[in-house]
Amino acid sequence: MKRLRLVLLLLLLLLLAAGGFAFWTYRELRVPRAHTHAAEYVEIPRGSSPSEIVAKLTSLGVLERGWPLLVYMKLTGTGSKLKAGEYRFQTPISPLEVLHKLQEGEERMRRFTVIEGWTRWDIAEALARVPELKLQNSAEALALMDDAGAVRDLDPRAENLEGYLYPDTYTFPLDTTAEQMVALMVKRFRQEWKPEWTARAAELKMTPRQIVTIASLIETEAKLQSDRPLIASVIYNRLDKQMALGVDSSIIYASKLAGKWKNDGKVYKSDLERNTPYNTRLHAGLPPGPIASPSASSLQAALFPATTDYLYYVREPSRNDGAHNFYNNERDFTRGVEALRQWERDRDAAKSQANQNANAP
């Protein structure tokens, strides 16, 4: 009887110990622990074993103890599902949360932004400054944009990807190539371009290429979203009257094509006199193709212009947000231009006086 009681007592102690150990392990796997490496990327190389991964995370302090997680992975068979990558582990974090991240996989990502109204030259220069893309120069990036095959169904006349490199902020893994980045911009454009927009372009007696061209003109002219449908109406009204559009950004684009743009923000007499279809002061109608990357709001404005009789617009001098005034006759437009020029003269004079006062003894 005494022996039986002793055996029962030992069994009870073993059960209590096992239960305590199980509870401790349960808690150990689920309780978040703080560490000091949350801002760093931890690289898990391909082919790393579960024990190697756990040892590395334990040495960094991401895991306080590694063996409970190793035991859990062994019992659940999850050790074979861990993925290589570059991870950031938030703090605090529990071992099971670490395991979940390792199963999902994670890569260090880079961000790249294409600004609304950028030309393909602007985009090429920006791409060349991204070290991960390993481009020798902007010319190498620009050459990737000469293949228009990805938009051929939408624009059979496209000779390059101007206008189809959608302005947005892109997140990409570090092993992404420059060619893949260009393809990503085109894919984003095609996601934005809705099938019904092609039908709407036909209603306007326009091709998608012409709509993108109009949108690119709007993008380079309008600062306010509310101005875009109005500027679109001016473009359409001038096209209907076979008037030259007179958009300086297209003249600048022509100078870039010719390799003559001085990139100082000024339009010179030689730019205005350059005989090219992109010179919308010399030639009526749309330029041959897009001159920049338009945003969704500019594409919308090109497809759904406001109904007006406006033929002119000029910047409103009393505002610094890029707002425009719109006119339906040349006389009022001329007055608007003169008001802007006078404001510019007054501004320059005030700046000059301020500089003199600052330099006075």
Inform me whether the pLDDT recorded for 4 exceeds 60. Answer: no
What secondary structure letter does DSSP report for 231? H
Q: Are 150 and 160 in contact (CB under 8 A)?
A: no
**Residues 100 and 51 occupy one common structural domain:** yes
**Residues 305 and 201 occupy one common structural domain:** yes
Average per-residue pLDDT for the chain: 90
**Residues 49 and 150 occupy one common structural domain:** no
Structure tokens at 24: 């401790």
Inform me whether the pLDDT recorded for 65 exceeds 70. Answer: yes
**Residues 40 and 127 occupy one common structural domain:** no
Query: Which of 150, 290, 265, 135 lies closest to 209 in space, CA to CA?
Result: 290
Residue 328 neighbours by CB under 8 Å, 6+ apart: 308, 309, 310, 311, 312
Q: Which of 152, 174, 192 is the last residue of a domain?
A: 192
**Residues 203 and 171 occupy one common structural domain:** no
Q: Which of 161, 192, 223 is the last residue of a domain?
A: 192
**Residues 36 and 87 occupy one common structural domain:** yes
Inform me whether the pLDDT recorded for 3 exceeds 70. Answer: no
Please report whether residue 95 resides in a domain. Answer: yes
Please report whether residue 231 resides in a domain. Answer: yes
Q: How far is CA 88 from the centre of its chain?
A: 23
What pLDDT is recorded for position 5?
Answer: 60
**Residues 186 and 200 occupy one common structural domain:** no
Residue 290 lies in domain: 196-245+281-310
Using DSSP, how many helices (H) and how many strands (E) does the chain show?
Answer: 14, 6
What pLDDT is recorded for position 353?
Answer: 75
**Residues 205 and 290 occupy one common structural domain:** yes
Residue 137 neighbours by CB under 8 Å, 6+ apart: 128
**Residues 141 and 234 occupy one common structural domain:** no
Q: How many domains does the chain have?
A: 3
What pLDDT is recorded for position 12?
Answer: 53
**Residues 114 and 95 occupy one common structural domain:** no
Please report whether residue 24 resides in a domain. Answer: no
Q: How does pLDDT run across 146-185, given as a tens digit for each residue?
A: 999 999 999 999 999 999 999 999 988 888 999 999 999 9
How far lies 163's CA from each of 45, 74, 229, 292, 327, in Å? 40, 54, 19, 5, 29
Q: Are 145 and 125 in contact (CB under 8 A)?
A: no
Residue 101 neighbours by CB under 8 Å, 6+ apart: 87, 89
Please report whether residue 5 resides in a domain. Answer: no
Please report whether residue 320 resides in a domain. Answer: no
